[in-house]
Amino acid sequence: MLTAVWVAVVAAAAAFVAGAGVAIYVMLKAARLMSETSAAVAGLRERGDLLIERANATIDQAGEQIARTGTVTASMEGVTAAMAELGGQFSAVAPALPAAGATGGPLAWAGALVYGVRWAVGNRGAPGRDVPRPMGHTARGGRWADRPGAAADRPGSAAGRPGSATGRPGRDAGRRAALASRGNGAAR
C-alpha cells in the first residue's frame, strides 16, 4: 500500500509540475501579448498626436485664410462704396446723355468722317468700286473677288469651266439667259 501512496504522490507531483509549467507558459505568452499590445497602443498614441498636430496646423492655416478673405471682402466693400460715390460725383458733374433717337453731335460727325476717309483710302485706285459695301464683302464672289487675278487664284474658281471665262456655252449660260429674260419681261 505504501507503493500505491508513493505512486499517487509522485503522480500528483508530476501533475503539479506539469500544471505549473503550463501556467508559466501561459503567463509568459500573456506577458508577451501585453507588451506587444502596450507597444501598439503607444504607437497609436504617437500617430494620434501627430495627426492632431497636423489637424491643428491645418485649422490655423484655414483661420489665416478666413482672416485674409475677411480683409479682402472689407476692402472690396470700401472700393464699392468709393465707386458709388465717384459715380455720384461724375453724374453730378457730367452733362446728361442725349436722348436715344437724337442725331449725334460732334463725336458722331467725327466718326462718320473717319469712316468716309477710311473707305475712300481703301478704294483708292480700284476702278468701278464706287458703291460702298461692308468691309470684307463684295457684291459677287466673296472675299476673293476683289483681289488681282482672283479667278485664277481662288480655290474652286470658275476659270476654265465651260461657259464662264472661256466663252464656251455651259451650264451658267442657260441661267444667265433665263435671268435676262425675266428682267426684260418685268420691264415691259
- C-alpha cell of 63? 483661420
Q: What is the pLDDT of residue 46?
A: 94
C-alpha cell at 3: 507503493
Give the percent of the chain with pLDDT over 70. 60
CB 25 within 8 A of CB 19: no
pLDDT class of 149 with cuts at 50, 70, 90: low
Higher-confidence residue of 25 and 82: namely 25
- Per DSSP, helices labelled H in 96-144 are 106-122
Which of 115-119, 133-137, 175-179 shows the lowest mean pLDDT across its residues? 133-137
| Full-model pTM | 0.33
